[in-house]
Amino acid sequence: MVNKIILASASKSRADLLQGAGLDIECCPADLDENLIKSEGLSVRETALKLSFAKAMVVSEKYPGSYIIGADQMMACEGQRYDKPVDQQEAKKQLMDLRGKIHHLISAVSIVKNGELIWSYAQNAELEMRDFSDMFLNSYLDDVGADVLTTVGGYRLESKGVQLFSRIEGDYFTILGLPLLVLLEFLRSRDILAR
């Protein structure tokens, strides 16, 4: 197949975004120790970009001639970085830390073909959590269950997580984990998608 597109991720939300936009993709999660890159002391933006590139590079070895999309998202609040919570207790602590504060989500995407980076991009979104009550937080955690462990910050804007916020500035798709509009524009510029 000409211009085969592979998403180097197990992220259902990223796959749904690309498929919803009409892309015919395959998914191949990258086997990568993300903590090595996260421990390099890079900025949040640089870390997200390097992770997206590293994921695409790993998968590129398996699919010569294909366009490999790697993506990653990092979160920072007041100088502290956040990862996906490992359990409900950590999710609760993260949400309590973020309550009433502004945090930033940086979503990065890279495209690799034949082991060579051909494009990368990172986009920032700013989100302000409202000062929700402990009662709301407990109810929220009960309602979303294990789903709270699937995203950095422990929320999904496309579901009940939107109730955690008082203000959002930035691209919706970037918040979901992929700067989709910019990615689609690049694919059109390379005639991978119809103009």
> Angle at Cα 68 formed by Cα 121 and Cα 11, nearest 5°?
80
d(CA 184, CA 61): 24
Instruction: State which amino acid sits at residue 57.
Output: M
Instruction: State which amino acid sits at residue 163.
Output: Q
Q: Is there a catalytic annotation at residue 143? A: no
DSSP state of 128: E
> What residues are paired with 140 via a beta bridge?
none
d(CA 15, CA 32): 19
d(CA 177, CA 109): 9
Position of tokens 């366009």? 67
Query: Which of the residues 72, 142, 147, 191 is marked catalytic?
Result: 72
In 80-186, DSSP assigns E strands to: 80-82, 102-113, 116-129, 165-169
Indicate which residues carry an active-site annotation.
72
